[in-house]
Amino acid sequence: MSAEAATREAVRWDAATGTWLVSGHAEAAAVLRGQGWSSDPRRLPGAPPEMAELPPGNLLFTDPPDHTRMRRLLGPAFTPRALEPLRPRIAQIVDAALTGLDDEADLLRDVAYLIPVAVIAELLDVGADGAELLLELTPELVRMLEIDADGEAIVASSAAATDLVMFLTPLLAERRGRPGDDFISAMLAVPDGLDPAEIAGTCVLLLAAGHETTAHLIANAALALLSDPAQIPHLLADPARAVEEFLRVEAPIARAVRVATRDHELGGHRVEAGQAVQLLLREANRAGLPLDLTRDPLPHLAFGSGAHYCLGQGLARMEAVETLPRLFTRFPELRLISSTRRVSATFHALADLRVAGLTP
């Protein structure tokens, strides 16, 4: 195959969805880093009218200049220096999640889902009752992130977002008067900062995106290791490097969508203003190379790139680095019973991950 033919295959029209499919790494990166693309799902061709009900202030769905302003205000809270003090507490949360498990369990439900929601509850300082509510709302909230979400899914997701905002509203008023060391207080303290709707929207996004994606990164990585135990020593030797390889091969986001706001040339094709592109991130990241935890980290788009590069990527990495070695060190006899993939256009995710050998 010629180089030109390979490039053209990296961008192709899909009549079934009426979108351009982008599977080439360079082409996907060009969209994510380029100008003239919108991440607002309300601009998608054929977007259901219920999209108008999505809560405001969601950074993921916001374009410049609002996105630029919000990201500048939120960025300092997610720097490595700001996040590093959380590491000991995350380690404690992981140890607590691994304690008291039965010999057989669903690793997704009983471990991977609990850790990120506990971390988010800690960040927001909402206590045990708040953590329970966050865990309850996540399945509905995350439906707004599905690229093929229909009106019913959007209404359900918006209702869950409203429930979360109602829970957070008195907390915002309380923290404004008596600030603490939590993320809400930090957002309120930014001079000329975010308005209440944007703060609430950021909390909704933190739960919808930060919880779900981190849980599936941990679960996908665990399944990969259970399927190929020879890789486990390499995880234990260098967890940070291993997590980068898991992000490349087993990242939880399989697809992202952008809408062209002007005409583009992409991979030898003309993408017209108003047309949508689906970025097949999992295909672009894998590039035909299998999982190898001894590999030096390769470039990947697991957290996106450019203006919308995931603000919480440092937190997700930290949670995975703290969880996976503890899991396989504490339970050296861990073995796979069964797993089921979740049906999703957006997520590379599991529906369950049954394991045995959880007796230390």
Q: Residue 49's domain is classified under what CATH number?
A: 1.10.630.10
Structure tokens at 325: 């070695």
What is the per-residue pLDDT for 121? Answer: 92
Angle at 41 between CA 36 and CA 43, to 5 degrees: 60
Q: Which of 105, 7, 103 is nearest to 353 (CA)?
A: 105
What is the per-residue pLDDT for 1? Answer: 38
Domains in the chain: how many in total?
1
What is the per-residue pLDDT for 133? Answer: 92
Structure tokens at 172: 């915002």
Report how far apart, in Å, the C-alpha atoms of 299 and of each of 3, 96, 257, 287, 337 are: 21, 34, 20, 11, 33
Helix (H, G, I), strand (E, B) or coil at 47: coil
What is the per-residue pLDDT for 2? Answer: 39
Residues in the chain, total: 360
Mean pLDDT by 10 residues, the chain (360 residues): 53 94 97 96 89 80 90 88 93 95 96 95 90 91 90 92 91 91 88 82 86 95 98 98 97 96 96 97 92 94 94 95 98 97 95 93
What is the per-residue pLDDT for 128? Answer: 87
Structural domain including 350 reads 3-356
Structure tokens at 242: 């291993």
The rounded distance, in Å, linking the Cα atoms of 297 and 182 is 33
What is the per-residue pLDDT for 288? Answer: 85
Helix (H, G, I), strand (E, B) or coil at 310: coil
Structure tokens at 22: 């982008």
> Can you name the residues that pair with 86 across neighbouring β-strands?
none
